[in-house]
Amino acid sequence: MSVASSVKIEQDDSVWRSARRFLSFRNISAIYIWIAMVILFSVLAPETFPTVDTIRIVLTDQAVTAVLAVGLVVPLAAGAFDLSIGSQLGLGAILVAWFLRNQELGVVPAIVASLAIGACVGLANGLLITKARISSFITTLGMSSVLLAVISWISKDAQILNLGSAFQQVANRQILSIPLSVYIMIVLAVCVWWVLDNTYMGRAVYATGGNADAARLAGIRTHAVVVMSLVSCSVLAAVAGILLSSSLATGDPTVGPAYMLPAFAAAFLGSTQFRNGRFNVLGTVVAVYVLATGVKGLQLIGAPVWIPELFNGVALLIAVAVTRRQGSSKRSRTPAPKRVAVGTAA
Amino acid sequence: MTGERGRALVRVEGLTKTFGPTAALAGVDLTIHAGEVVAVVGHNGSGKSTLVKVLAGLHSLDAGQVVAGATELRFIHQDLGLVGSLSTVENLALGIGGRPWRRLRKADERREARELVRRFGVEVDVDAPIEGLSPAERTIVAIARALRGWDDRREVVLVLDEPTASLHGAEVDQLMAVVRRVADHGAGVLFISHRLDEVLDVADTIVALRNGRVVGDLPRDDADYKLLVELVAGQAVEDLERGSGDRGEPVLEVRDLAGGGIRQLGVTVHAGEVVGLAGILGSGRDEVCAAVFGGSVRTAGVITVGGREISDIRDSIRSGVAFVPGDRHRHGAVMSMTAVENLVSVLVPGTASLWRRVRRGQEMREATEWFKACGVLPARPQMELTQFSGGNQQKVVLAKWLRTKPKVLLLEEPTQGVDIGARAAIHGLVMEAAREGAAVLVASSETKELAQLCDRVLVLAGGVVVDELSGADLTESQILHASVPAQAVTEPSAPTRGSHLYDVMPS
């Protein structure tokens, strides 16, 4: 073809340039903000902030949020919201406690049963969205309320205590003085990252989120993708709930909803990192810990108790605003309207 | 019809606008007088829409001037700019000044709206939501809104950009009457259209554009349909080297297809053959490819590829069918993903596991080759698809399907909104696919494209095939003539007024 000869493919992927692109503020702003915060709080609270204990506490505290946020990345990438993740976490937390204490199941059966029920919730969400054609927003908002009712019903609004030391070990067992929950989080994050970033399954998920019609016409089973994304999110939310009950040694019926906002903040903040506006696992995990570092630092310098809520809320809003701006600046705009020359009347 | 001309309201002199190397407008002159309807006709890419945008001030000029004096230009763009969920009254009141918290004078507004609409000789329910009105009524409401506040003291030129693109038969007449009435009240009207018949009905002066130049500026009475076709299309329609025409085995067989606007359709496409689908808007032309592919609902019909019956999209892809939709933004590609990701996004079911690892290096090498073969620029496959121009996006969408080595290639408006260079490249790719043995079915509103590409063309009207053209009969004008619905020919009308619908350009 004649057109072909004149085309030269730009080889701009030299190591230096890709490294520069990777390290640009735009790409990894959260990392720079993280470093700045660490320096700031180390100066302001030199006794308490830059310590091994702080690192361990932040790492451990946030494992549950990180698992939840990583799970949330999947439906968001597929173009579906899941507003029921907080309640699903709560359901997982209370169910495992209920199975252990009230049904006297062993640790493994209790966990498996909780996960299975979590998966069913995700399946219900997915089918409502794809078959009943209710928007994911409404579906999961409704589901969230239903799950809170279920939690209240099975727990009779009371904590379930004494879950046994074997179950506590699930989250708390120390390996190299870091609890197991952190390792579980890392393994799950790597699994989700692998699927989303390195398989054609992941491509199908992003394509469905980007343009479901085009994805369908390219042979992707978009309904199956949406259902599967919600199921995996629900399973991870159940895992987060189980880890939470295990680390608290208590099934608490009120814990769930508070986790939703940090997870959304992290997922949206994470989408501004590394992958140019795309929801991604690495960015999300980093974002969880950046937010947690900020909150922890503020607490250590004596900020009031309402600071975490404020911090997470503001972070979510800023993250979404930044994503929007990245999106709009990429599109080429039509030239600004300009009046035509108007001469004298004919 | 052509009364005495009023004063010249707007004069356009030597208007020139270039985009990169191509001149969209090259020295365009035209004058709009009071009480006159000036129609601008031309092919896709002739410069019609650029002219409107320049007049609206959306594009700056490279040369020339628009002399408007005190005359106000008022625009009706194709999308009309009405709020569908609001009533006519509310739409007409939108944008009127006044303090936001002032009380609405609803009774007055309703009375004014009714008078305004009645002035144009139509009766609409001014309280019903706009979306419930017919397209013609909506256009009339838009005109009423544009002419709000117009009285004898002001000089107004109404610019209508393809107002009839989505209208049919009687609706067109209804709108034309309104346009005529507006001109009779003393306004100038600039009427942009690609339907030559309606232009002949309403215009006083007809300006034909081709490749950004005025190729004809003549009073209505000097023009007839045939002359306009010649002006618009140009005398010399260059001939593309066609395929050898050697038919291979039948590959795609469609029997008794029905669904949507298709009533009954059968076609057999052989290996190496390019079959075109022509017809006016609403003839079912635009729906055939999607229905064959399984992308839209079929109510009846059997589709076989290589003797094997196919039922749904995945089945089609598995059997080697490729489908390039007409609307690439909505159906063709995921604009927010990179070009390379789009290129490799079709996975033939059954041949590749979804859980397979993505090999980025290999993908990039493959994308580089495709970019070279298709001439996609800039040659950066890792760029997001939105950042490419329309023509290059279309090449990527085509390449994404050619990559699957299709046995059947279904194309819908393959060169819509694409510049001339990209158009030639896309045609070349389609020809090459056909030479390599693909059966190609191409639906297009551009008769020129069909005449160039196809070995034979099926002409659709009312959801059925009404004619088949091939060999020496396969010319642009033959396709045009055959596309006209039978009843339009028999309709009583003055013989000089071509009653043929000239609907070759997409809206």
CATH at residue B153: 3.40.50.300
Residues recorded for chain B: 507
Q: Does A63 touch chain B (CB under 8 A)?
A: no
How far B469 CA sits from the closest chain A CA (Å)?
29
Q: Which residues of chain A make contact with B313, given a CB cutoff of 8 A?
A: 216-217, 219
Query: Does A248 reside within a domain?
Result: yes
The β-bridge partners of B159 are B75, B190
Question: Which residue in chain B has the smallest CA separation from A1?
Answer: B373
Number of domains chain B contains: 2
Q: Quote the CA–CA distance of B432 and B436 in Å, as a whole number.
A: 6
Q: Does B297 touch chain A (CB under 8 A)?
A: no
Q: What is the pLDDT of residue A190?
A: 94
Give the best residue of A193, A203, A205, A217 to mutate against chain B (max B CB count within 10 A): A217
Q: Do B129 and B208 lie in a common domain?
A: yes
Domain endpoint, select from B233, B259, B275:
B233
**pLDDT confidence band for A346 (50 / 70 / 90):** very low
The distance in angstroms from the start CA to the end CA of chain A is 52
Q: What is the pLDDT of residue A67?
A: 95
Q: Do B201 and B264 lie in a common domain?
A: no
Q: What mean pLDDT comes out for the span A27-32? A: 81
Q: Do B295 and B228 lie in a common domain?
A: no
Q: What is the pLDDT of residue A76?
A: 94
Q: Is the pLDDT of residue B237 over 70?
A: no
- Higher pLDDT: B217 or B242? It is B217
Q: In this structure, which amino acid lies at residue B405?
A: K
CB B37 within 8 A of CB B189: yes
Tell me the pTM. Answer: 0.74
Query: Does B242 reside within a domain?
Result: no
Number of domains chain A contains: 1
Q: Taking CB atoms and an 8 Å limit, are B330 and A332 in contact across chains?
A: no
Q: Taking CB atoms and an 8 Å limit, are A9 and B317 in contact across chains?
A: no
∠ CA(B493), CA(B494), CA(B498), 5° rounding?
A: 85
Q: Which residues of chain A make contact with B355, given a CB cutoff of 8 A?
A: 195, 199-201
Query: Does B169 reside within a domain?
Result: yes
Orientation of helix A180-198 relative to helix A281-300, angle to 10°: 140
Look at residues A252, A262, A294, A217 and name the one whose alpha carbon lies nearest to residue A93: A252
Q: What mean pLDDT comes out for the span A131-142? A: 90
Q: Is the pLDDT of residue B161 over 50?
A: yes
Query: Does A332 reside within a domain?
Result: no
Q: Is the pLDDT of residue B359 over 70?
A: yes
**Inter-chain contacts counted by CB atoms under 8 A, chains A and B:** 158
Q: Is the pLDDT of residue A231 over 90?
A: yes
Q: What is the pLDDT of residue B441?
A: 93
Scanning B305-364 for CB atoms below 8 A from A yields: 313-314, 317, 323, 325, 330-337, 341, 344-349, 352-358
How far B23 CA sits from the closest chain A CA (Å)?
17
Query: Does B137 reside within a domain?
Result: yes
Scanning A272-331 for CB atoms below 8 A from B yields: 276-278, 330-331
- At a CB cut-off of 8 Å and minimum separation 6, what does B313 contact? A216, A217, A219, B293, B294, B295
Q: Do B38 and B187 lie in a common domain?
A: yes
Q: What is the pLDDT of residue B506?
A: 30
Q: Taking CB atoms and an 8 Å limit, are B345 and A203 in contact across chains?
A: yes
Q: Does B490 touch chain A (CB under 8 A)?
A: no
Q: Does B403 touch chain A (CB under 8 A)?
A: no
Query: Does A331 reside within a domain?
Result: no
Q: What mean pLDDT comes out for the span B156-168? A: 79
Q: What is the pLDDT of residue A85?
A: 94
Q: Does B63 touch chain A (CB under 8 A)?
A: no
Q: Is the pLDDT of residue A276 over 80?
A: no
Query: Does B437 reside within a domain?
Result: yes
Q: What is the pLDDT of residue A321?
A: 82
Q: What mean pLDDT comes out for the span B348-366? A: 84
CB A88 within 8 A of CB A255: no
Q: Do B35 and B85 lie in a common domain?
A: yes
Q: Do B226 and B104 lie in a common domain?
A: yes
The rounded mean pLDDT for chain B is 80
Q: What is the pLDDT of residue A148?
A: 93
Query: Does A96 reside within a domain?
Result: yes
Query: Does A13 reside within a domain?
Result: no
Q: Do B220 and B267 lie in a common domain?
A: no
Q: Do B411 and B291 lie in a common domain?
A: yes
Q: Does B242 touch chain A (CB under 8 A)?
A: no
Q: Which residues of chain B make contact with A199, given a CB cutoff of 8 A?
A: 354-358
Q: Do B410 and B459 lie in a common domain?
A: yes
Structural domain containing residue B179 = 8-233
Q: Which pairing describes strands B8-19 and B22-33: parallel, antiparallel, or unpaired?
A: antiparallel
Q: Which residues of chain A make contact with B31, given a CB cutoff of 8 A?
A: 346
Please tell me the least confidently modeled range out of A259-268, B286-295, B481-490.
B481-490
Q: Is the pLDDT of residue B498 over 70?
A: no
Q: What mean pLDDT comes out for the span B65-85? A: 80
Is residue B30 classed as helix, strand or coil in its secondary structure? strand
Is residue B255 classed as helix, strand or coil in its secondary structure? strand
Q: Is the pLDDT of residue B101 over 80?
A: no
Phi first, then psi, for residue B414 (nearest 5°) are: -65, -20
Q: Taking CB atoms and an 8 Å limit, are A9 and B372 in contact across chains?
A: yes
Q: What mean pLDDT comes out for the span A130-138? A: 89
- Helix (H) and strand (E) counts for chain A? 16, 2
Q: What mean pLDDT comes out for the span B143-170? A: 77
Q: What per-residue string of b and e applies to B24-43 under the rule 16 or more CB within 10 Å gives b? A: bbbebebbbbbbbbbbbbbb
Question: Which residue in chain B has the smallest CA separation from A336?
Answer: B58
Q: Do B213 and B305 lie in a common domain?
A: no
**pLDDT confidence band for B497 (50 / 70 / 90):** very low
Q: Quote the CA–CA distance of A102 and A109 in Å, as a whole number.
A: 13
